[in-house]
């Protein structure tokens, strides 16, 4: 169970339930735990945990923190957190981490359904825990009812319709989560616009400091890491507020800087390309023409 990297790795839901001291799941590929019932075996503080299955945590009222990577998620407001297979979480070492309700399901449970192909489109499974979904009172009621419906179905004797019904309910849960995340991007505009301002400043510093010459083009991974955000969350947030994903946003900034250099300096197109971080001037010229319908030289001549 514990691998060479000192990570507790669970390949099955049954294996995890045994470790937590919970009853075996009624279905081997999907499990439900209400942590308000019974005693939970906890992991020591700092323990790394990895699962081969999905996890959706729903907490109505909670006071405590769960560490993910270098950050903490405070569940005090209540909400939903999502975990996809192979992600690493770090235990806080307290029972606070095990309050509320949790749904576990293995990829094989949905593999033969459209959801099996579509689940990668639900970007929140790639978010960090610090980017969890905070719910309003009404939203908590909706999610609570969905969790209760799933739990009720799991407690019913399994028949030929059980899996179809459960997958349909899970799809509804994920669709509502998508809606509520979009609402969160909108209602937290002040915080998100501050993030965009930080992104703009980061790109300004990157290009004004000629980092492109040394480090190449700024990547989505580099930018999101410096903002302490997951790449998927940053792209989804930007798309919600600007209509652009992170890559498109960075490219537009690159073009803005290129226009300034073409119009106000005597640098050659190749020198500008290298300064911005391109390995090949042809790649810069191609992007510039795609974004502006002009070649760099044609744009420069328009100022003559």
- Which one-letter DSSP state was computed for residue 98? G
| Both tokens assigned to 209 | 């400091």
Note whether 281 and 267 are within 8 A (CB): no
Q: Do 26 and 165 fall within a single domain?
A: yes
Q: Is the pLDDT of residue 131 over 70?
A: yes
- Mean pLDDT for 50-68 is 72
Q: Which domain holds residue 286?
A: 190-301
Give yes or no for residue 177 having a pLDDT over 90.
yes
Clarify whether residues 181 and 204 are in a common domain.
no
The dihedral through the CA atoms of 244, 246, 247, 252 has a sign that is: positive
Q: Could you say which of 151, 170, 186 is where a domain stops?
A: 186
Taking the model in full, what pTM does it have?
Answer: 0.71
**Do 244 and 266 lie in a common domain?**
yes
Q: How far apart are CA 301 and CA 297, in angstroms?
A: 6
Which of 157, 186, 215 is the endpoint of a domain?
186
Write the secondary structure of 139-174 as one string of H (helix), E (strand) and C (coil): HHHHHHHHHHHHHHHHCCCCCCCHHHHHHHHHHHHH
Is residue 169 located within the same domain as residue 196? no
Residue 247 lies in a domain: yes
Instruction: Tell me which DSSP letter residue 27 carries.
Output: B
Residues 127 and 220 in one domain: no
Beta strand pairing call for 7-10 and 48-51: parallel
224 within 8 A of 121, measured Cβ to Cβ: no
Place 175 in a pLDDT band, splitting at 50, 70 and 90.
very high
**Are residues 168 and 124 part of one domain?**
yes
The predicted pLDDT at position 96 comes to 56
Has residue 71 been placed in a domain? yes
**Local confidence band at 240 (pLDDT 50, 70, 90 cut-offs):** confident
What is the pLDDT of the chain when averaged over all its residues? 84
Check whether residue 204 and residue 255 sit in a common domain: yes
What whole-number distance in Å separates Cα of residue 41 and Cα of residue 47?
13
- 37 and 150, same domain (yes or no): yes
Total domain count, the chain: 2
Listed in sequence order, the residues at least 6 apart from 46 whose beta carbon sits closer than 8 Å to its beta carbon are 90, 91, 93
**Would residue 121 count as lying in a domain?**
yes
The domain spanning residue 110 has which CATH number? Answer: 2.60.120
- From 186, 212, 230, the end of a domain falls on 186
Asked whether residue 48 is assigned to any structural domain, the reply reads yes
DSSP per-residue string spanning 188-203: THHHHHHHHHHHHHHH
> Would you call 101 exposed, middle or buried from its count of C-beta atoms within 10 A (0-12, 13-18, 19+)?
buried
Can you give the CATH number for the domain in which 263 is found?
A: 1.10.10.60
Instruction: Select the more confidently predicted residue: 277 or 121.
Output: 277
Average pLDDT for residues 221-238, to the nearest whole number? 90
């Amino acid at each position: 169970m514990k691998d060479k990297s000192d990570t507790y790795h669970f390949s099955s839901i049954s294996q995890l339930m045994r470790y937590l001291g919970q009853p075996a799941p009624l279905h081997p590929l999907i499990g439900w735990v209400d942590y308000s019932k019974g005693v939970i075996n906890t992991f020591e503080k700092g323990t790394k945990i990895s699962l081969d299955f999905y996890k959706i945590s729903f907490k109505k009222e909670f006071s405590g923190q769960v560490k993910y990577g270098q950050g903490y998620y405070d569940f005090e407001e209540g909400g939903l957190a999502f975990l996809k297979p192979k992600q690493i979480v770090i235990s806080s070492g307290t029972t606070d981490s095990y309050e509320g309700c949790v749904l576990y399901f293995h990829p094989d449970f949905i593999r033969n359904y459209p959801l099996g192909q579509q689940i990668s489109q639900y970007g929140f499974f790639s978010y960090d825990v610090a980017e969890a979904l905070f719910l309003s009172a009404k939203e908590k009621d909706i999610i609570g009812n969905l969790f209760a419906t799933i739990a009720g179905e799991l407690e019913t004797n399994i028949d030929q319709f059980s899996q179809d019904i459960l997958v349909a309910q899970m799809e509804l849960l994920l669709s509502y989560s998508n809606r509520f995340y979009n609402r969160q991007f909108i209602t937290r505009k002040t915080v998100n616009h501050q993030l965009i301002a930080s992104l703009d400043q980061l790109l300004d510093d990157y290009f004004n400091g000629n980092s492109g010459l040394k480090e190449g083009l700024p990547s989505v991974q580099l930018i999101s890491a410096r903002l302490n955000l997951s790449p998927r969350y940053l792209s989804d947030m930007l798309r919600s507020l600007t209509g652009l994903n992170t890559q498109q946003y960075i490219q537009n900034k690159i073009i803005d800087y290129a226009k300034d250099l073409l119009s106000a300096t005597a640098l050659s197109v190749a020198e500008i390309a290298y300064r911005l971080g391109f390995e090949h001037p042809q790649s810069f010229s191609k992007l510039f023409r795609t974004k502006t319908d002009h070649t760099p030289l044609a744009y420069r001549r328009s100022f003559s």
